[in-house]
Structure 1
Amino acid sequence: MRDDAAFSSAMKWPTQKLRSLLLPCLALWSSIAACGSLAGGPRTPVFSPDVVFATHVAQATALDDLFEDVDDDGADTGFPQRMFQQTASWRGFSQLEFAYTYAEPAHASKLRLRSELSNLGQLSPNIKWKLSARIDYDAIHDISDFYPRPVRRDHRFELFLRENYLDISVKDFDIRVGRQHIIWGEMVGLFFADVVSARDMREFVLPDFDILRIPQWAIRTEYSKHDFHADLVWIPFASLDEIGRPGAQFYPFALPEPVPVRFLGGDRSGRNLANSNYGIRLSQLIRGWDISAFYYHSLDASPTFHRVSQPDEPLLFQARHGQIDQAGGTLTKDLGGAVLKAEFVYTHGRRFNVTRMTAPDGLVRQDTIDYALGLDFPLPRDVRLNLQFFQRVFLGYDRDIFADKYENGASVFLQASFWRDFDAQVLLIQSLNRSERMLRPRLGWNFARNWHLAVGADIFDGPPTGLFGRFANNDRVYTEVRFSF
């Protein structure tokens, strides 16, 4: 444990920056703690329209007193709170996944059972909560020794805490405390303005985004008034990307030539209170244009591989996380026949690997601009078409990094439903700088109530240091069976 002086120093800076957020939260928590136990009632599904309220009560409870009826001018209306019936509901899914990698050397690469359970409820009209967890077991690492032992140990069995939070609403303010998803942007297939989310990248970006995203332990305060929305976030101990172990199928490190490389264990020592993440996002609806702007300071969720060996020694790398600053915005507009979406992010402080051995740590700092433009078209017969263009611009470009100054790409996503219970989709993401792509066809069948069967393929092509080309030997076919409740 850290000593008191170091802990005091670590606490000083973030609390000064976020005092306006923490003090209301702590005061509100104290008030709730003083309310005592809440009377139980019959358990009914959360948000059920069948929940019945008494029209009048003789005396408000202590919890009701916390949220007294107040009119728009701030005056007490004099009416007691209506009796509220506590509610709770369960939901979740269980999914069996199998994948076979047919690129040489061919092998079965996944046989995973994934189960998630969530409980949602309300203690009062102003207080809601969610508890959820997930268990993953991949049997392929018990019946096959294709992958190195550290990889098998990392992927075999895991218990995840998913979203676990308490929601408190007071007039125009909503406060959420706990482990939660904070999503500031969402494009098709890749991440741009979604800067707060950490991700489980052990299968690259192939899983559904709701599975791929890792919730953050955060205090989040939201303010909404008319068409304006403000979002203030503090994350004391950041969740970081999970990238797996060297030798895993989608380990993200790549070199232009196959040379011997060793790795130290990842360094996450920067994940502490002194390096806590914080940010603000403001959005406004103006004549049908949904516009937002944000700033986010964080310990970079995505690791950078530092060379820790000397130039005359065998290559040795370590994954580390540095601090970065990001600013950007999003835009959405319904054009009638299509929906326009755009996201923009400027990143300061991120470092990238270079080919020259004289660079300290094998890295250079490169500020970047990332943006994406998308059009979403609803077509006849339950068909959806999405087109996107995206670009990364390296500012102060260093020619020795593994990328061009302007990295351009485009994507096409086509989705259709047919024969009532069938759906098909295909996603193509293509580099416009070189012959590099990812192709993902998929066919689904709702063969029974709450049951879904899917088959598909993930196909990669490109150079060994490219975003997709580094996985060119990982082409695979897969099937999934999912039961939801």
Structure 2
Amino acid sequence: MKHKTILLTSIILATVLLPAVAGDGVFSGMVRDYATFRFSQSDMPVHEITADLRYDYYGDLGKFTLHPVAYSYPNEGVELDIQEAYFDFYLQDADIRVGKQKVIWGEAEGAFITDLVSPRNMRSFILADFTEIRKAVPAIKVDYYAGDYTLQGIWVTHFIPSTLPSQDSMWAQTPSMPFPPTISATINVPTMPDASLENSEAFLSLGRFGNAISWKVNGGYVFTDEPLVTGVTAPDSTSREISQGYERYGFVGGSFNTTLGSMILRGDVALALEKPMNSVNTTSNPPISIEYHNQVQTLVGLDWNMLGAQWSTQYLLTYTHDHDDSLVSQMKPIKEFAHTLTFRVQNTFLDERLTAKLFTYMELEPANALIRPSLSYNFGDGVLLEGGVDLFVGDEEGTFGVYQDNSMAWAALRWYF
């Protein structure tokens, strides 16, 4: 609570101090009407109106940013969220940002390797805009500049987890429990760590921006963004209660990008040290426990221009050390080696008013994919009409194939101002 008070006080001081100095405010935003049509059910499971607003006030002391977002759904109330609210101090050799903020690390597109500062909003799986998937965290971020080098330190004052789909969501998955059919299982709401100094998160990175190659090395001490099963109790012989919580681990990693002729080569790597994972063993009591394993995630990406279009591909490998078949994540099996590919091609037509894009995730074992072709047309004056298809195909045991019944078409009308 103390750290929340510090951040709230900082925001209030910023709103009081900035108007007191010479400066200008800039108001911008986007209004979007988004709807989907699901093929398997012939229904419209999502109709969402979004007002995404942003106010930046520039003064002699720095800049204040307020980023509220409102969501409206048919027959439901309006949901308001302050996505970001922070103050930037600009010093001679350093920048300081205080408040609720999103932090982007790494070189991956549509994947999270070293990008572990901001948790994710997974309420609609991974279909939201990449900029909207990240959640803001209450933090103090300091960037210190020395020539081509940047040293960045981040203190997240209290833990914010990723947001998972609600139980009645079309994206919710019913986990398979290691109990006989006669046993009913109740999954309790995850227990949040207390907002205290010892439960805060810390990150550090050192990077260099160069003409030939740019790189960063980084690390942090964090909580798992998704909950783990922390205990199983038996109130009686026919029921079980499952407790959930969040566990800590450290990680080190890095990222780079460089040019290879006319192409851009980029990469990410992260080593999770003693990362907590659930283990399911029906012969044990309790049947669900926590084990600690080192895990490596690596990504290599290549971007290039060809035939007037922009092309990109990525290969992601996840390796879990000392693997055994009992390991699960959200009660789904963890593979010793997991391979994922992404592919993107994008081109513009009609004086760059029409944009055609294809983005695809492909998981190799088991073979399954998410295929996302889309078109958008810019009418000018900030008005953009877009539409596309989200196709889930392949093995139903896969990350994407499990959502085969959620393949759908979508359309959106945006107005930027």
> Structures share a fold, TM > 0.5?
yes
Secondary structure of 1:243's partner? coil
Cα contact 1:307–1:315 (8 A) shared by 2 = no
Query: When the two structures are superposed, what TM-score results if normalisation uses the length of structure 1?
Result: 0.75
Alpha-carbon RMSD: 2.9
Which deviations, in whole Å up to 9, do the C-alpha atoms of 1:65-119 show, x marking residues without a partner?
xxxxxxxxxxxxxxxxxxxx4111100111111012222x443211111101111
Q: CA deviation at 1:304?
A: 2.6
Q: Measure, in 2, the Cα distance between the counterparts of 1:359 and 1:385.
A: 51
Amino acid at match of 2:326: D
| Match runs of 1:123-138 below 5 Å | 123-124=59-60, 126-138=61-73
**Alignment pair present for 1:218 and 2:139:** yes
- Of stretches 248-257 and 213-222 in structure 1, the one that deviates more from structure 2 is 248-257
Task: State the match for 1:113 in structure 2.
Answer: 49
Q: Which has the higher helix share?
A: 1
Q: Measure, in 1, the Cα distance between the counterparts of 2:185 and 2:414.
A: 39
**Alignment pair present for 1:89 and 2:26:** yes
Q: Measure, in 1, the Cα distance between the counterparts of 2:251 and 2:24.
A: 40
Secondary structure of 2:45's partner? strand
**Alignment pair present for 1:391 and 2:317:** yes
Give 1:344's match in structure 2, choosing from 269, 277, 282. 269
Give 2:164's match in structure 1, choosing from 234, 243, 253. 243
Query: When the two structures are superposed, what TM-score results if normalisation uses the length of structure 2?
Result: 0.87
Kindly tell me: are residues 37 and 478 of structure 1, through their superposed partners in 2, closer, same or farther at Cα, counting changes over 3 Å? Answer: closer
Kindly tell me: are residues 255 and 378 of structure 1, through their superposed partners in 2, closer, same or farther at Cα, counting changes over 3 Å? Answer: farther
- Of stretches 113-122 and 238-247 in structure 1, the one that deviates more from structure 2 is 238-247
Task: State the match for 1:366 in structure 2.
Answer: 293
Q: CA deviation at 1:316?
A: 4.9
| Match runs of 1:293-304 below 5 Å | 293-304=217-228
Cα contact 2:362–2:369 (8 A) shared by 1 = yes
Secondary structure of 1:244's partner? coil
Task: State the match for 1:409 in structure 2.
Answer: 340
Kindly tell me: are residues 281 and 312 of structure 1, through their superposed partners in 2, closer, same or farther at Cα, counting changes over 3 Å? Answer: farther
Larger radius of gyration: 1
Q: Which has the higher strand share?
A: 2
Kindly tell me: are residues 297 and 203 of structure 1, through their superposed partners in 2, closer, same or farther at Cα, counting changes over 3 Å? Answer: same
Cα contact 1:223–1:229 (8 A) shared by 2 = yes
Cα contact 2:201–2:222 (8 A) shared by 1 = yes
Amino acid at match of 2:302: L
Amino acid at match of 1:445: Y
Q: Measure, in 2, the Cα distance between the counterparts of 1:465 and 1:257.
A: 18
| Match runs of 1:188-337 below 5 Å | 188-251=109-172, 254-255=175-176, 262-285=186-209, 288-306=212-230, 308-310=232-234, 313-314=238-239, 316-337=241-262
Task: State the match for 1:62 in structure 2.
Answer: none
Amino acid at match of 1:377: W
Kindly tell me: are residues 483 and 319 of structure 1, through their superposed partners in 2, closer, same or farther at Cα, counting changes over 3 Å? Answer: farther
Q: CA deviation at 1:268?
A: 1.8
Cα contact 1:425–1:443 (8 A) shared by 2 = yes
Secondary structure of 2:63's partner? strand
Which deviations, in whole Å up to 9, do the C-alpha atoms of 1:112-169 show, x marking residues without a partner?
1110111102121x51111110101122x65xxxxxxxxxxxxx64211122111112
Q: Measure, in 2, the Cα distance between the counterparts of 1:431 and 1:312.
A: 41
Which structure 1 residue ranges, 4+ long, deviate > 6 Å from structure 2? 35-38, 256-260
Q: Measure, in 1, the Cα distance between the counterparts of 2:226 and 2:245.
A: 9
Runs of at least 5 residues in structure 2 that lack an aligned partner in the other structure: 328-332
Cα contact 2:54–2:67 (8 A) shared by 1 = yes
Task: State the match for 1:172 in structure 2.
Answer: 93
Task: State the match for 1:443 in structure 2.
Answer: 375
Task: State the match for 1:50 in structure 2.
Answer: none
Q: Measure, in 1, the Cα distance between the counterparts of 2:237 and 2:317.
A: 37
Secondary structure of 2:44's partner? strand
Task: State the match for 1:185 in structure 2.
Answer: 106
Q: CA deviation at 1:363?
A: 4.2
Secondary structure of 1:274's partner? helix
Q: How many residues align?
A: 398
Kindly tell me: are residues 256 and 305 of structure 1, through their superposed partners in 2, closer, same or farther at Cα, counting changes over 3 Å? Answer: closer
Task: State the match for 1:375 in structure 2.
Answer: 302
Q: Measure, in 2, the Cα distance between the counterparts of 1:431 and 1:262.
A: 32
Secondary structure of 1:132's partner? strand
Cα contact 2:18–2:64 (8 A) shared by 1 = no
Q: CA deviation at 1:301?
A: 1.9
User: Which of the pair has the greater relative contact order for Cα pairs under 8 Å at 6+ separation?
Assistant: 2
Identity across the alignment (%): 20
Kindly tell me: are residues 199 and 292 of structure 1, through their superposed partners in 2, closer, same or farther at Cα, counting changes over 3 Å? Answer: same
Which deviations, in whole Å up to 9, do the C-alpha atoms of 1:431-475 show, x marking residues without a partner?
122221111111111124201111112122344553223323221
